[in-house]
Chains A and B, each alone.
Chain A
Amino acid sequence: MIKPIQVIAIVFGIFALIKVILKMKNRKLSLNEFIFWCSIWVVLIVLSIFPQISGNIADFFGFTRGIDFFIVSSILLIFYLIFRIYIKLEELDDKITKLARSIAIKEIANNINKT
């Protein structure tokens, strides 16, 4: 007997998967990112259709319930993603600083050449 929560998760997973594929079609994603996000949503869909799989994995790792395993691994994944975004942001900040500095120095060089 399929539960409403499973239906919601499956619909959400399919929706997200379509988004990822569309983004890939418009070449907004790199191949690595495409594979990463596809596998996340496919795993969500598969686990929603066959919840007993997550139960088996949970048993293996020592969790009592499948949902516990699901939540813990999701949180870990989220932390990892936040860390990556954080690093990316630092890099961007660095690039902007360099860019702004080179614009400033180019401008002063131009001004000096004019006078």
Chain B
Amino acid sequence: MENKVNIYVVVPAYNEENTISDVITNLKNNNYKNIIVIDDGSTDSTYKIAKENKTIVIKHPINLGAGAAVKTGTDYALSIGADIIIIFDADGQHMAKDINNLIKPIINKEVDVTLGSRFLDKKSNVPLLKKIILKGGVVLVFLMYGILLTDAHNGLKALSRKAAERIIINARGWEYCSEIIEEIKIKKIKYKEIPVTIKYSSYSIKKGQKIYNSLNIFLKMIKKWLIE
């Protein structure tokens, strides 16, 4: 059964030349061969490295943002017949071995979306400040959309084909994570949180979302809520 399911891993990448090669190797070693890297207008050699690793690479001519890259990737994966789409960050903080747990409930048709959560088990060593901000995000998402998650801003998720066709991402930046949750809520898509491990290296912390970024996401959520 599992062999017949077309699984595509979408990797949005912006200036990730240091990690992209390891991320791709890690995915391939775990037997995920269908990898779509979206180079979001990187100015370093991300594109070249991803190409050398024999993946599908889509290059945005200019930098558009993480949300736009994810949408490009999912659109393309749908167009080439993906049954399940995994969204996987390019900065090396996700583990390819977690994907198996994410896709199981989708293959078994229990749910249409699985969201990675770093708080469901104790394996991720989340720095305190990061934890406070992430939990703040959880509260905010609960207040705005009425969905209580343990980790609302985790880059690792899996969507069934049906869910990917229904979830429409308009956000260009990182606020796409909250937008997916909003879409799940509005369109009553079945979801489940799955424990995943986040590897905090000094590199991924440096590259990851900064505090001011969280504030920015917060403002964009409010703006969207006010205007639409």
Contacts and interface: CB of A to CB of B under 8 A. Distances in A.
Interface of A: 93-94, 96-97, 100-101, 103-105, 107-108
Contact of B76 (A93, A94, A97, A108): A108
Q: Which of A104, A107, A108 has the most CB of B within 10 A?
A: A104
The main secondary structure of chain A at its interface with chain B is: helix
Contacts of A105: 58, 72, 75-76, 79
Contacts of A93: 172
A100 B64 contact: yes
Interface residues of B, number: 18
Contacts of B64: 96-97, 100-101
Interface in B59-73: 59-62, 64, 68, 71-72
B172 A104 contact: no
Contacts of A97: 64, 68, 172
Interface string B66-102: 0010011001100100000000000000000000000
Nearest to B57: A108
A9 to B, nearest CB: 36
A101 B68 contact: yes
Contacts of A100: 41, 60-62, 64, 68
B168 interface: no
Contacts of B170: 94
6 contacts: A97-B64, A101-B68, A101-B72, A103-B61, A104-B60, A105-B72
Nearest to A87: B227
B69 to A, nearest CB: 9
